[in-house]
Structure 1
Amino acid sequence: MACEANKCLLCHDAPCSKACDKGLEVASIIRSIRFENKTGAMRKLGETDVCKDCSAPCMDACRKSDIDEAIKIPTMFAQLRNEKILVPEQSVDLSIDSCGVHFENPFLLSSSVVGSNYEMVAKAFELGWAGVAFKTIGLFQPNEVSPRFGALEKEDNPFIGFKNIEQISDHSLEENLGFLKRLKKEYPTKVIIASIMGQNEEEWTKLAGLMEAAGADMIECNFSCPQMVGEGLGSDVGTNLELVEKYTAATRRGTTLPILAKMTPNITKMEEPAAVALKAGADGLAAINTIKSIMNVDLKHFGSTPNVQGKCSVGGYSGKAVKPIALRFINDMKKDERTKNAPISGMGGIENWKDGAEFIAMGCETLQVTTAVMQYGYRIIEDMKEGLSDYLVQANMSSVKELVGVALGHVVDAGDLDRDTIEYPRFVHKNCVGCGRCYISCFDGGHQAIVMDEKTHKPMMNPKKCVGCHLCMLVCPTESITPSGIRIPKKKQEEMAS
């Protein structure tokens, strides 16, 4: 079901929905499945099986058929029904307060092109986003390049990671101040976070004051953009403790608003500049910004992407692939005595509600999104809010606040992990198709603990050799290998081997 949904083009003004003579929001249901919001998909599908004996005009209208074959929509919906998903009738309170500011839900647009003018942000607000960290404003306008984006592919997924070489807002200061004023006037309950970048202490102070006068609710200091032209800007600041201190203090002199210091991941210990920023006057932290990167070398012409007349530069890497790195840095800051109590606005690979819930469980109070919006549009907020609410209901939580930080205690030092027992994998042969992927991976990349039965063509485990690494489970394409849930002492395995 999920594989079929992943093939969907996620069309604008989707013809499948228009073609459905039963009134189903076909495209919306598929999107909910795609973004791991099955309860939301089932809620829209309804209890009555209106697809039964249907001629499937939705498939006839599917634009995917112009490329290869139409999405198997009736089959997908039937599989969804067969899962008998329990749809919560109630919802929970998604609002949260952070740095003394009230957010109607945790989801914000992060400081980037997705929140760079009035029209864009207004549309996002109308669809349900709680706020925006407006694209970074400075007293100068950058001279941008074309093209400025690149994507990393893997197998049939064209968007594993994303690279940009874009700088701060290319609108004038007057235009940006006008955007902020109008947005706050027309959407007073939405949160406006003004991201700023100065070139010296005076500029940081001046920008902070201008943002407050324009109606911003918070200030975000961009200490982390990795592709700025010129020294002493962006991540050059975030890796320099002296500059972090000076510019945070300068910003504090210019405003009474809460200040977030946006951290760079292009550093070993993020907690160091974070602690300095808090001591100098920041109220909270934002993490992570993009990661310095070079990607996709063209082996014919040897240029990289984005290709600007055969040349490229180091740029910022984002997207789903950076989520593990972001969570690691957030954990580090939440474990440090100097920074553990600071509110964090988390970002870095948040694509759906599940990603967002992981960041909240790791200690974040609000969430910022860019790359997923660039790929799928502002509409993803529907499944983000609905999916998070349904999860919290099923987890017996009445508010998103109850989720904040609950995962932190489960991350320990490597030396504190149980190293005296083994958990073997469990092989579920009824689901196995005998492809042998587990055997190949175990032999060539593991401990040669799997053999293929000559009669059944199914894998068999040798417990004398298995070390419980679970590589076989990770490569299995049919989910036929699961954790056993049983741990045995290593000494027992040693006795079997002998």
Structure 2
Amino acid sequence: MNNPAYRDVSLPEEVGGCLLCAGAPCRKACPYGVAADTIIRSLRFENFSGAANRLPEPVPCASCATKDCLSACLKGKMSRPVPVDEIMLTASTYDRLSSEDTDLSIDFCGVRCENPFFLSSSVVGSNYEMVAKAFEMGWAGVAFKTIGTFAANEVSPRFDALTKESVPFVGFKNIEQISEHPLNENLAYLRQLKKDFPTKVIVASIMGQDEAEWTYLAEVMTAAGADILECNFSCPHMAANGLGSDVGQNPELVAAYTRATRRGTHLPILAKMTPNIGNMELPAIAAIEAGATGIAAINTIKSIMNVNLDTFASGPDVQGRTSVGGYSGKAVKPIALRFIQAMKSCDKLAGVPVSGMGGIETWRDAAEFMALGCENIQVTTSVMQYGYRIIEDMIEGMRLYLAARGYKSVGEIVGRALPNILPAEALDRDSICYPRFDRSKCVGCGRCCLSCYDGGHQALRQDDKTGRPVMDARRCVGCHLCVAVCPAGAVSPGVRVTKDRIISNVG
């Protein structure tokens, strides 16, 4: 595609429309054996060089006369086929890179991890078969689904998703509790996993109902071969008081149960924090002072969503009723990053290892968490959407990112963003960064002008002839609302000037 906006704007839309089929028909139909499905998946998860690396040279799609991939595309049964041929040609325009010299291994709480990517404590790591499959595909570890002395009695259904416009999965709600399996069965899973995968890291997530149970669970998890224990102080929807987030909001209980856990093990202990609190540092400090080795954050956010306006039931709809549940998915990432930054900026927690989670879907999300100080990453909701296979692009995307920027190991990026997060009063308030308008990308839709007038400072008007924006620099305050709303990627940060300067109108 010669349109400069296609690769930056339309390509993500095209690959976002792919169904990411299991056993993709497009790949099977290709007479040249092009791995169209994995290439599209790489593009979707921002592993652009990885997508280019998977393409044969020369790319056969331009000369292909059959277009069998389009005929086979299951999206065609719903609307129009995904333009696989165009996507492959566009993927070929990304740089092909090598990442052989990059090292993703990292020490976390004194435990060596082959890469920083773990499954978080949830349904995605809840029995032997599931975790074994994940390990074989490349996940370095698992925080096994939270184990107690009792097995949870679950409801049906217990999952629901939040949508927005054409995005089918903005956020996710669950009302699932801890493991449905008996304690002895879970212990057997852990023993077998450690036997069969000795180099993988087993994090045993536990939840007791009193101090004696916390100590007992720590003892039996240690004996079963766990490498790390994770205290679940944060599940937002347990059926009994005194469990989950009811504990995590109380620093005294966090300290008491952490001490109880420490009595039962010599292993590293993670205290899993709840975001349903204003100041996460307080329970985190209490946990560390009571014997925890590190922090895991964040668990899901208490939520209610999707009220049916015909029945007035909310989701997940259990015979017309629901309960407050845990919100996760991409939408919670900014909240998770805020809590992690706050803890890593706290003097008493600055050197404490943190396992980060909350809205991580791609290698880029993971890198952001690591840049704010996390040494380990946990993932659930993205696996529930796309499967364990996302680990391929997480590993490759991270390696290629590191290689492209000259880093030799993933540990080099840990905490690098922290110095750039300042108190509001410390930011430069004496200058303005004006927007820059790229005429070659602008399509004249006027979205920036509408938003600026109705939601900004009335600094843009639409040229009557070209439809392109014209800026009044005397009105522009450099808020960059126009940058955020432009659907063509035609507006970007431009020149920065001090507020005592006035520049002429810019079209």
TM-score by length of 1: 0.98
Verify: 1:239 aligned to 2:249, yes or no.
yes
The equivalent position to 1:413 in structure 2, one of 414, 418, 423, is 423
Which one-letter code corresponds to 2:287 in the other structure?
Answer: A
The equivalent position to 1:68 in structure 2, one of 49, 55, 79, is 79
Map of 2:4 onto structure 1: none
Query: How far does the alpha carbon of each residue in 1:210-260 deviate from its partner, in whole angstroms, 9 at most, with x for none?
Result: 000001000000000000011110000000011001000000000011000
Map of 2:6 onto structure 1: none
Verify: 1:343 aligned to 2:343, yes or no.
no
The equivalent position to 1:457 in structure 2, one of 433, 454, 467, is 467
Which one-letter code corresponds to 1:490 in the other structure?
Answer: K
Structure 1 residues 24 and 244: CA distance shift in structure 2, 3 A: same
Verify: 1:492 aligned to 2:488, yes or no.
no
User: 2-side partners of 1:481 and 1:422: how far apart?
Assistant: 16
The equivalent position to 2:68 in structure 1, one of 35, 57, 66, is 57
Verify: 1:185 aligned to 2:199, yes or no.
no
Verify: 1:102 aligned to 2:99, yes or no.
no
Helix, strand or coil at the partner of 1:256:
coil
Q: CA deviation at 1:26?
A: 1.1
Are 2:49 and 2:97, in contact at CA under 8 Å, matched by a contact in 1? Answer: yes
Helix, strand or coil at the partner of 1:153:
strand
Verify: 1:378 aligned to 2:377, yes or no.
no
Are 2:49 and 2:94, in contact at CA under 8 Å, matched by a contact in 1? Answer: no
Are 1:290 and 1:348, in contact at CA under 8 Å, matched by a contact in 2? Answer: yes
Structure 1 residues 84 and 115: CA distance shift in structure 2, 3 A: closer
Q: How many pairs are equivalent?
A: 494
Residue pairs, 1:227-376, within 5 angstroms: 227-376=237-386
Are 2:50 and 2:96, in contact at CA under 8 Å, matched by a contact in 1? Answer: no
The equivalent position to 2:141 in structure 1, one of 131, 150, 170, is 131
Helix, strand or coil at the partner of 2:62:
coil
Identity of aligned residues (%): 61
User: 2-side partners of 1:100 and 1:89: how far apart?
Assistant: 26
Which one-letter code corresponds to 2:25 in the other structure?
Answer: P
Map of 2:26 onto structure 1: 16
Residue pairs, 1:436-447, within 5 angstroms: 436-447=446-457
Are 1:91 and 1:390, in contact at CA under 8 Å, matched by a contact in 2? Answer: no
Which one-letter code corresponds to 1:308 in the other structure?
Answer: V
Are 1:221 and 1:259, in contact at CA under 8 Å, matched by a contact in 2? Answer: yes
User: 1-side partners of 2:167 and 2:101: how far apart?
Assistant: 33
User: 2-side partners of 1:325 and 1:2: how far apart?
Assistant: 25
Q: CA deviation at 1:429?
A: 1.5
Helix, strand or coil at the partner of 1:132:
strand
Verify: 1:120 aligned to 2:147, yes or no.
no
User: 1-side partners of 2:243 and 2:487: how far apart?
Assistant: 46
Q: CA deviation at 1:495?
A: 11
Helix, strand or coil at the partner of 1:251:
helix
Q: CA deviation at 1:84?
A: 4.0
Q: CA deviation at 1:2?
A: 1.6
Q: RMSD value over aligned CA atoms?
A: 1.2
User: 2-side partners of 1:91 and 1:120: how far apart?
Assistant: 31
Gaps in structure 2 of 5+ consecutive residues: 1-10
User: 2-side partners of 1:49 and 1:207: how far apart?
Assistant: 56
Gaps in structure 1 of 5+ consecutive residues: none
User: 1-side partners of 2:27 and 2:445: how far apart?
Assistant: 37
Which one-letter code corresponds to 2:481 in the other structure?
Answer: L
Are 2:447 and 2:485, in contact at CA under 8 Å, matched by a contact in 1? Answer: yes
Could you list the structure 1 runs, at least 4 aligned residues long, displaced by more than 3 angstroms after superposition: 493-496
Are 2:125 and 2:142, in contact at CA under 8 Å, matched by a contact in 1? Answer: yes
Query: How far does the alpha carbon of each residue in 1:10-37 deviate from its partner, in whole angstroms, 9 at most, with x for none?
Result: 0011111111111111111110011000
User: 1-side partners of 2:96 and 2:167: how far apart?
Assistant: 30
Which one-letter code corresponds to 1:315 in the other structure?
Answer: G
Helix, strand or coil at the partner of 1:492:
coil
